Amino acid sequence: MTPSAGPQPLDVRPTPAAAPLPRTSLIVVSRHRPAALARCLAGVAQLEHTDFEVIVVADPAGLAAVQAAGLGPAVKAVEFDEANIAAARNAGIACAAGEVTAFIDDDAVPEPTWLSRLAAAFADGRVAAAGGFVRGRDGLSFQWRARTVDRTGAADPLEVPPDRISLWRGAPGQGIKTEGTNMAVRTDLLVALGGFDPAYRFYLDETDLNLRLAALGAVTAVVPGAQVVHGFLESARRRADRVPLSLHEVGASSAVFLRRHAPPADHGPALERLRADERRRLLAHMVAGRIEPRDVGRLLAGLEAGIAEGAARALGPMPPPLPLGEGLVPGADAAAPADVFLRFPGTGPRPGHLIAGRPWQGAALRRKALAALAAGEVVTVLRLSPTARRHRLRFDPAGYWEQTGGLWGRAGRDAPAPRFGGFAARVRAEAARTAPLRPVARHPAGRAAQRPGGKPDDR
């Protein structure tokens, strides 16, 4: 079959609820952010999927955090301390023994249902890759949903059913964009393609893979219910408030991407669009008082230097298939050979516990949350003030979710303004909204949420 000019929607057959999930290898890449890695793994430990392994690719400080969390025997540990996320992901792929390989960033936390829903898409034999939705800094608003991407790297929204999986066949120069912090690919295909292209050291490496899959006419599943919260933590390239410290690699990777995928006539307009987008973003930071005018010039100069370097960066053929087992840390607690599947222990469905209260009850609510965690429950703390303050959701490093905001505040940027009502009514509404993603308890003042289990608490 010759693919047509753009991504094509395919019919979707619902996956039976009892269909077994494929064995999955989950790769987490981390560099110089051990606390973030520990928090991400605390969320991973609450996943409903029962048949997956975890591969942590990290610098020595990150691997020490894994050991400190008591997870050394539970993961495959790969020591890697280079500023090249594509090469780091490849080091993880070389140790993957699952049928499907999934990816999440260290500054993201998955909802408990995330991996099982993402992996379930591969029950359809046509599916080569899958991607879910990503929520942003407030934990509730969407950062990225479904998108297509073209040969210049430009992404456009893709309308998909919000309540079910949809399948899309790519075409040369037109792919389905998956985000590196929420995606999965069949392992044998990923290895056959040589993994990620290490010419992309920070940016566009997963988009390059999307275009290579599209050139094969591969099918990508969009799974709206497979969601992670992505925090955008500080790194060597950006501050915690998302102000970039350098745009060099953005420019370099963009130039590499155009050389890989776009005809020369498209390079100039695409780079002008990149320059305009980055200038607009920097000016917004300047107006907000986060940077000075001189910073704008310095960062744009770095972008230009990166474009020039990327235009000259050596590009060989894509790397050959990865030899299984390269990179596993000798003597690590997870000493199983890379081709042996190392199931991550203690996961699976568990009851939820929704604990609701007021802001001034914070210490008491935390004690209850920790007790519920110790009892093996997935815990959500809801703290409502008598205001219209917008809500925020965070995953506490101790292992529970905490949502804060006003009794009449919006739960997400695009959420409708709630009607004025009482405390119990708002708790019921938030329980019903959360239940499709995370188990919550029955609330005593209203009907049960969609997922049973747990203990009600409303004080």
66 and 164 part of one domain: yes
326 located within any domain: no
| Residues 202 and 240 grouped into a single domain | no
Nearest to 183 by CA among 242, 91, 108, 126: 108
Q: Closest Cα to residue 241, out of 284, 277, 204, 195? A: 284
My answer on whether 159 and 264 are in the same domain is no
pLDDT confidence tier of residue 337, bands split at 50, 70 and 90: low
pTM: 0.89
pLDDT band, residue 234 (cuts 50/70/90): low
Where b means 16+ CB within 10 Å and e means fewer, 210-223 reads bbbbbbebbbbbbb
Same domain for 50 and 61: yes
Instruction: Assess if residue 206 is contained within a domain.
Output: yes
Q: Is residue 333 part of a domain?
A: no
Domain range enclosing 163: 18-233
Residues 75 and 77: their CA atoms lie apart, in Å, by 6
CATH number of the domain where residue 164 is located: 3.90.550.10
Are residues 399 and 284 part of one domain? no
- Out of 189, 213, 233, a domain closes at 233
Residue 194, classed as helix, strand or coil, is: coil
Picking from 114, 134, 112, 225, the residue whose alpha carbon sits closest to that of residue 178 is 134
Q: Are 136 and 244 found together in one domain?
A: no
224 and 287 together in one domain: no
Same domain, 197 and 264: no
Give the span between the Cα atoms of 345 and 73, in whole angstroms: 10
Claim to verify: residue 382 and residue 308 sit in the same structural domain: no
Residues 274, 299 within the same domain: yes
40-62 mean pLDDT: 97
User: In this structure, which amino acid lies at residue 9?
Assistant: P
Residues 449 and 379 in one domain: yes
106: Cβ contacts below 8 Å, ≥ 6 apart: 28, 29, 30, 33, 36, 37, 40, 58, 62, 233
Instruction: Convert the pLDDT of each residue in 144-194 to its tens digit.
Output: 999 999 999 999 999 999 989 999 999 999 999 999 999 999 999 999 999
Considering the domain boundaries, does residue 275 fall inside one?
Answer: yes
The reply to whether 402 falls in a domain is yes
Looking at 314, 329, 344, which one is the last position of a domain?
314
Which amino acid does the sequence have at 2?
A: T
Q: Residue 335 — very low, low, confident or very high, per pLDDT cuts 50/70/90?
A: very low
Nearest to 148 by CA among 139, 140, 157: 157
Rg (CA), the chain: 22
At 396-416, the pLDDT tens digits run 999 999 999 999 999 998 888
Query: What's the number of domains the chain is made of?
Result: 3
Phi, psi dihedrals of residue 22, rounded to the nearest 5°: -70, 150
Q: What is the pLDDT of residues 315-334, one digit of tens each?
A: 877 656 655 444 444 333 44
Q: Are residues 51 and 187 in the same domain?
A: yes
Through-space distance between the first and last CA atoms of the chain, rounded to whole angstroms: 61
